[in-house]
Each structure stands twice: as C-alpha cells, then as structure tokens.
Structure 1
Amino acid sequence: MKSTTLMTAAVSMALGVAMSLTVSVWAHGTRASEQEGPSATAQTGDGMAGMHSPGSMELHRITEESKVMPMPMTGDVDKDFATMMTMHHQTAIKMSDALLKYSKNDGLRALASHMKAAQQEDIRKMKPYTK
C-alpha cells in the first residue's frame, strides 16, 4: 500500500512539473511579439506586447483554469495517470482551439490542428482506464 501511495505521489509531482513546463513554454512561444513581428515588442520594450490581445488573454485564462482544476486521486496509479493526462489533454485542446480562433500563422495553425486531433485520440484511448 505504501509503495502505491509513493508511486501516486511521484506521478502527481511529475505530471504537475510537466504541466507547469508546458504552460511556461507555450506562454513564451505564443507572445504577440512572435506572432506580430518585432514592431509589437518595440512598442512596449518589455517583450510582453499584446498581452491584452483577445487571443493571449484567452490562452492565459485557459492556463489559469487548468492550475485550479481538481485532480482527484484514487490511489490507483493507472486510473490516476489516465485521469490526470485526460485533463491535461483537454487543456491542450482548449489552447489549440484558441490558437485556431485567433492566429493567422499558418504553420502554428497546422500544428495546433494536428495536436488537437492527437490529443483527442489519446483521450479516447485513455477513457477505459479512467472508469
């Protein structure tokens, strides 16, 4: 029983770190300065140009919501992993939808479409393990 609890705690911590890193990388990679060119950064000089754009605000809202999502732990490492990864993938789908709604970057739009489809397929495969 103790090893199951330790394994569950380890998986929880690893997934938490992975989700934090994913959010951080995503946030840095989708700044308006990278989408709109150097003039956006030059206007503010702080690298956070466009933070108040609708797309950036939606991405921020999605990532903030994912931080407070309840992650129920059952003690069954398989079920907990599948449940937590499903929630993580659902956040990635929401982020992809936001990018598809606001971005004009064809390369990122294609990547977001591909990622959304892959995340949906992974969720489908994990569903039997979450019950």
Structure 2
Amino acid sequence: MEIRVKCRCGEEECSEWAIVELQGVVETQASFQGSIQNLEIGRLCHSDSSQGTYTFTVGYHELAGSKVTLKKPLLVLKKLQFDEVLGKATELEVVGIIRTKILFKTRPKPLISGTN
C-alpha cells in the first residue's frame, strides 16, 4: 500500500509546534469525562527574563520547565482519504513540524498552603 505525503511548506510556511512533556498523570474531574475536547487544563507562560524558561499553572499547582531541542524533528500529519474508482487512496498532509519540547521534570510547587 502506497501512502503519499503532501507538504505545502514551499507554498506557505509550515506551522511550528512544540510538545509539552509532563511527568505523572493529568486527571480530569468526573464532570468533564465526556467532554475533554477544548478543555483548558492550565496556563502556560514564558518567562521574559530568561530564554527557555516556562511555568505551567494547573489549578493550585505551578510547574517550572525548560525548552529542549529534539534530536530529530517530528512531523504532525493529517490523514486524508479519497474514494477513487479502483478503491480508496490514503494521503497524509503535513500540518506542522515539531523541533522543540517544553519539559517539566520537577514536582509541582503548591501555590496555596492549608492553615491549621
């Protein structure tokens, strides 16, 4: 089976994407289980003072991370299917390219603490 990869990078600029890598598990509340599409889980901020430093705030927790360049870039692909006379053809379209990831490898810092 032949799968064609279509790229319009010469015609228009390919979107730059980044991976956000977290350690552990991100869980949603039971009320959001059916509708997690477009669910905002936190706020990602880039520090102006130092390049490559990011903070990610999820609820009452804050994570500190850094920008890391990937050894090999990754492509973000979109699958397109066409019905042709002799069968179905599959084609992949390049949507973006990933060259970096934002790595959060430390434990989250609590933003508020409980008082007794």
Normalising by structure 2, what TM-score?
Answer: 0.26
The structure with higher relative contact order (CA 8 Å, sep 6+) is 2
Which one has a larger percent helix, Structure 1 or Structure 2? 1
Q: Of the two, which has the highest radius of gyration?
A: 2
Which one has a larger percent strand, Structure 1 or Structure 2? 2
